[in-house]
Homo-oligomer: A and B are copies of this chain.
Amino acid sequence: MADRFERELMRGSLDLMVLSVLADGANYGYLIQKRVREASGQTVKLEAGTLYPLLHRLEASRAIRSKWDDSTGRKRKWYELTAAGRRRVRAQAAQWNQYVDCIQQLLKPALAALPAK
């Protein structure tokens, strides 16, 4: 992330980011982290210390479910959406769009009122 704002900005929508990644298919922590990083053009660095507690919270709330994979040398914990999780992605995506519209409505007149640069 470029600076402090970008960090703060993410607060509250990290859930949606992670759920979105999992909606696209089962995945494990480290890869989820990379996926988010790439989707943001390297600007959003979802730290491990943020991601793992978040995954645990999502699991505790039954939006996702996990399963260890010990078959390979590196132990990986795979996560996948539950039915409730899928409902949640749809609901949160709808709210996200609504929220974006709201910000746009405030931002449009604001930028128009600001001097060109």
Q: Which residue numbers of A lie inside 8 Å of B, CB to CB?
A: 2, 5-13, 15-17, 19-21, 23-25, 35-36, 39-41, 43-44, 86, 89-93, 95-96, 98-100, 102-103, 105-107, 109-111, 113-115, 117
Contacts and interface: CB of A to CB of B under 8 A. Distances in A.
**Copies held by the complex:** 2
Contacts of A11: 8, 11-12
B44 A102 contact: yes
A6 B99 contact: yes
For the residues of A in contact with B, the DSSP-based class is: helix
A79 to B, nearest CB: 14
Contacts of A109: 23-24
Nearest to A92: B5
B10 A12 contact: yes
